[in-house]
């Protein structure tokens, strides 16, 4: 991307900011002028992404450690309160955090794992977005991006609770986009193709990673959705 920075003066929260796509999106947002809030569960990895953004000359990011698997509704309320108090605005929210679990038949899926994966991949994005909506609307025009998975499609064998969550996320995004359009809040579902990430490696361990697209490529496409001039996609 060249020319004027599309996110100059904006604040963007990226979940899963230490993962393959998440870190690429976070660094891309910073490159485009955004103050990025890096959210993930592992502080050393967050610090690594933080250092890379600073070294590249981006605006100083913020670190917000949070384990989505164990987070409560109050944790999301506290997140919203902290962001409003410390930063005053939120112009973008990108949900890159995800957990695959294991590719097994539904008949063999442990109930505890089922609940964990539905929470991390579906309930957590819902709860976080719900608590952040007032700040996003206040900061409008603003953008929320959820991430789908092309490997899941409309439903394929063995993708389990992760697959169910990604399919449900598609429906949730469409409903939220319709509800938020009049508030100046754009809601997108971004579905990258196969890319070189830890989740892809877990799902396809025998695949040659050199044949896959690096996450920086789809991250650039996702950044286009963050532009104030982009349109709502459902």
List domains and CATH numbers for the chain.
11-226 (3.40.50.720)
Residue appearing with tokens 């009049």: 182
Give the pTM.
Answer: 0.94
Marked catalytic residue, from 50, 64, 76, 162: 162
Would residue 162 show up in a list of annotated catalytic residues for this protein? yes
In angstroms, the Cα distances linking 135 to 29, 89, 201, 221 are 19, 6, 36, 25
User: Which pLDDT score is estimated for 230?
Assistant: 65
pLDDT tens by residue, the chain, 234 residues: 456 899 999 999 999 999 999 999 999 999 999 999 999 999 999 999 999 999 999 999 999 999 999 999 999 999 999 999 999 999 999 999 999 998 999 999 999 999 999 999 999 999 999 999 999 999 999 999 999 998 898 788 999 999 999 999 999 999 999 999 999 999 999 999 888 888 888 888 888 888 889 999 999 999 999 987 665 444
**Cβ–Cβ under 8 Å, residues 132 and 79:** yes
Task: List C-alpha distances in Å: 7 to 2, 64, 123, 224.
Answer: 12, 20, 28, 10
């Amino acid at each position: 991307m060249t020319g004027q920075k599309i996110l100059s003066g904006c604040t963007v929260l990226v979940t899963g900011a230490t993962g393959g796509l998440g870190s690429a999106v976070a660094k891309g947002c910073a490159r485009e002028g955004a103050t990025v809030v890096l959210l993930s569960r592992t502080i050393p990895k967050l610090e690594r992404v933080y250092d890379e953004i600073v070294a590249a000359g981006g605006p100083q990011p913020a670190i917000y450690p949070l384990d989505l698997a164990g987070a409560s509704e109050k944790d999301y309320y506290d997140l919203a309160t902290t962001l409003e108090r410390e930063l005053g605005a939120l112009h973008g929210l990108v949900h890159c955090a995800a957990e695959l679990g294991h590719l097994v038949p539904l008949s063999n899926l442990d109930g505890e794992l089922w609940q964990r994966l539905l929470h991390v991949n579906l309930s957590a994005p819902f709860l976080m977005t719900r608590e952040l909506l007032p700040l996003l609307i206040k900061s409008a025009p603003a953008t929320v991006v959820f991430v789908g998975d092309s490997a899941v499609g409309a439903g394929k064998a063995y993708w389990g609770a992760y697959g169910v969550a990604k399919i449900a996320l598609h429906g949730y995004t469409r409903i939220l986009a319709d509800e938020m359009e009049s508030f100046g809040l754009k809601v997108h579902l971004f579905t990258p193709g196969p890319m070189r990430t830890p989740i892809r490696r877990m799902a396809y361990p025998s695949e040659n990673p050199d044949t896959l697209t690096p996450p920086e490529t789809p991250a650039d496409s996702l950044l286009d959705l963050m532009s104030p001039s982009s349109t709502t996609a459902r």
